[in-house]
Structure 1
C-alpha cells in the first residue's frame, strides 16, 4: 500500500471504511476501501473481489487493485467518483430532480443491473449511497458488492440480513429465504421514486421496524392475497390478522412529478408479487425510455448547461 496516500473518509459501512486516496505513482485519485479485520470480513472481501473481477461494465464501479490479507488489513482500490447519489441529490437538489437526468440515471442503473443479473449476480444492497455519480453529474455506477451473491438453478436459500430496510422488498420483509434478482428491481424502484421528490416512498420514519414498513407498503400498493400473489400466505411472517385488506392506491398521487409512462414503469418495478415484477432487462425496453428527438435534444442541452453548476472538489492533486 506504499504507493497510495489515504486522505479523507468518504464512506463507512458494516464491513469497512472508504477513503479518498491518491495513487502516488500515477497521480490518480482513487477510492480505497479498508475492510475491518475479522474472519467474516475476510470471507466477504474474497467474495467481493471474486465478483468484481468477473464484471466489466460502464455502469459498474471498476476495481483497480485488490490487496487482501495484508499486515494492516484488506484493501480494495476502486476508481473514484465524486459523489454518491444521496450526496448528489442533497448538494444539487434542482439539478438532480431534472426529469431527463433522472431518466438517464435510471437507464444507466438498470443497464448495469441487467448486466449483473445476466451473470447471475444479485446485488442485494442497492440504495442511493451505493450508487456513485461522476463530477459532471452525467454518469452513475453501481458500487459496493459486499453483500452480492451468485445464484443458480434451483435457487438456494439466502439470509434476510440484506438490503437497507428502506429499499427492502416485501418477500424478504415477510420472511422469505428464497429470492432472486427481483429483490434488486424492487430496490431500484424505491430509488426511482425517491429521485423524483427526494422523499422515500415507503419508509421514512421507522427505520428499524419491518412490520411498520410492510404496513406502509400495503397501504399504497394494496394488501396481497393468494390470488394476487400465490404463496404469500405461506411466508413465515405473513399473519392475516396483522394485515387488514387494503386496496391499491393510485401511485401517480405519490409521485405527482413523474410522467405517466414513468408511473407505469414504477408500478411494474414495485409489483408485490416477485414473480410478476418486471426484470431489469425488460424495464430498459419500457416506453418510459423511448424519448422522441426533441426530448433527447433537450436532455443534451440541459446537461451542457448544468456542467457549469456541478463539479467535484477543487483540491485534487
Structure 2
C-alpha cells in the first residue's frame, strides 16, 4: 500500500474519533496511531495548554463502540484501582460521549520486542523479568487475572529502563474456589427413620439429583477412543471454560478447557516471554489452533508429564507413541546456536546465562498450575536476587 494511502487512512481514523468524542479536540493534539487491537485503537496525543501549543504526551485508547459496557467498566476499574505504580499503567482521564469511550493514559516511548529479544544479557534479562513479575504481583494482589500477558502488552524502554503493563481489556476477577464440605448428592435423614427407609430415601434423592443436573458419571462410558459417541456422552453438559488470551501464550489448563482458572495463567505467559529471550526465538510457539498448541507443549514437556497434568484436570490425553521430555536449558542453548549460525560471524554474540535463570524458567513453566510459582514467590528467586 502506498505511503500516501496509509496516511489518509490514519487521518480518517483520527477524524472519526474526534467526531465521536469532540472534547478530545479541545484537550489534545492527536499525532499518530501507535497501536491497534480487536476492540480498540491507541493514538499518541499531546496535551494542549492555554495557548494551544503541544505539551505532555499521552496514550489515548479509543474503544470501538461494539465493545460490551461490562468489558469497558472492568478495564476502567483495573486502571483506576491497580494502575499508577509497580510498572502498571494508570489512568489520567476517561472521556465518554454517547456510546464512545476513550481512556487517557501516560505514554512511554518503547522498543519493539523484536529489537532486543536476541540481545538480552543476563543483567538486562534479570531487570526485565523482575519488572514484569513486580507488575503481576500487584495485579494478582487485587484478585485480578490479566489474561493477555505478552511482549506487546509489557512496554519496555531500554534506554530509560522504564516498564509499563498495559491493556486490561481481557482481565477477569479471580474468586478462589472454596473446598466443598458436603456431598450435594446426599440429604440428611432424621435419626428416627428406620435404616431400610433411610437407604431408600438416600437412593431416591441421589437418583433425582443426578437426573436434574444431567450428571451421568455414575455410568461408565464405552465410546472413549472409538469412532462414535454414545448416548451417555451426548447428554453430558458441554464443556465451557475461559480461553481468552493470545495464541502461543496460553497454558495447558486453558488449552484443556479447565474452568477453575487462576492467576497462574499470567505466570505461564511470563515464562513464555522468558523462554523467547533465553532461546533467542520469537515467537516461540506458532500454533494456529489450541490442539496444535497443546501438541507443541507436549513436544517439550513430554507425553507422560502431560498425561499426568490432564488427569489432575479431570481430562485424558492419548498419544500414539511416547514423547520424551526435553531439558529447557539444553533446548535454549541449541536454539541459540541455530540462530547464531544464521548471522554473519562479526555479528555473532555469545551469551551465557546462569543456571538460576533456567531454574526460574522451569518454575514459571510448570505445567501443573497448582505448583507453578507465584509472582510473589518468583521475586524471591535467586536469579532475581543475586
The two structures have a TM-score, normalised by structure 1, of: 0.81
Match of 1:209 among 289, 293, 307: 289
2:123 corresponding residue in structure 1 = 100
1:132 equivalenced with 2:163 (yes/no): no
Q: How do 1:215-234 and structure 2 match up within 5 A?
A: 215-224=295-304, 228-229=308-309, 231-232=311-312, 234=314
1:60 corresponding residue in structure 2 = 88
Deviations 1:122-158 (A, max 9, x none): 1000000001123625121211111111212327x98
1:81 equivalenced with 2:113 (yes/no): no
1:11 equivalenced with 2:91 (yes/no): no
Do the aligned partners of residues 151 and 45 (structure 1) sit closer, same or farther apart at CA in structure 2, a change above 3 Å counting? Answer: same
Q: Distance in 1 between matches of 2:164 and 2:318?
A: 40
Q: Distance in 2 between matches of 1:99 and 1:135?
A: 14
1:282 equivalenced with 2:362 (yes/no): no
Q: Distance in 2 between matches of 1:31 and 1:144?
A: 12
CA contact (8 A) 1:29 1:80 kept: yes
Q: Distance in 2 between matches of 1:140 and 1:232?
A: 36
Higher relative contact order (CA 8 A, sep 6+): 1
Match of 1:38 among 66, 85, 101: 66
Q: Distance in 2 between matches of 1:37 and 1:201?
A: 31
Q: Distance in 2 between matches of 1:27 and 1:143?
A: 23
Q: Tell which deviates more after alignment, 116-125 or 57-66.
A: 57-66
Q: Which runs of 4+ in 1 moved over 4 A?
A: 224-228
Bigger Cα Rg:
2
CA contact (8 A) 2:303 2:322 kept: yes
Q: Tell which deviates more after alignment, 132-141 or 99-108.
A: 132-141
Q: Distance in 1 between matches of 2:62 and 2:322?
A: 47
Q: Distance in 1 between matches of 2:240 and 2:149?
A: 16
Q: Distance in 2 between matches of 1:93 and 1:214?
A: 24
Match of 1:273 among 339, 352, 368: 368
After superposition, the CA RMSD in angstroms is 2.4
CA contact (8 A) 1:268 1:277 kept: yes
Match of 1:152 among 175, 193, 216: 175
Q: Distance in 1 between matches of 2:100 and 2:307?
A: 51
Unaligned runs of 5+ in 2: 1-23, 179-238, 334-351
Q: Tell which deviates more after alignment, 141-150 or 182-191.
A: 141-150
Do the aligned partners of residues 255 and 34 (structure 1) sit closer, same or farther apart at CA in structure 2, a change above 3 Å counting? Answer: same
Do the aligned partners of residues 245 and 57 (structure 1) sit closer, same or farther apart at CA in structure 2, a change above 3 Å counting? Answer: farther
1:112 corresponding residue in structure 2 = 135
Q: Distance in 2 between matches of 1:135 and 1:200?
A: 18
Deviations 1:74-127 (A, max 9, x none): 10011001125xx1x333566x41221111010010011011111111100000
The two structures have a TM-score, normalised by structure 2, of: 0.67
Q: CA deviation at 1:171?
A: 0.7
Match of 1:239 among 309, 317, 324: 317
Unaligned runs of 5+ in 1: 292-317
Q: Distance in 2 between matches of 1:122 and 1:216?
A: 24
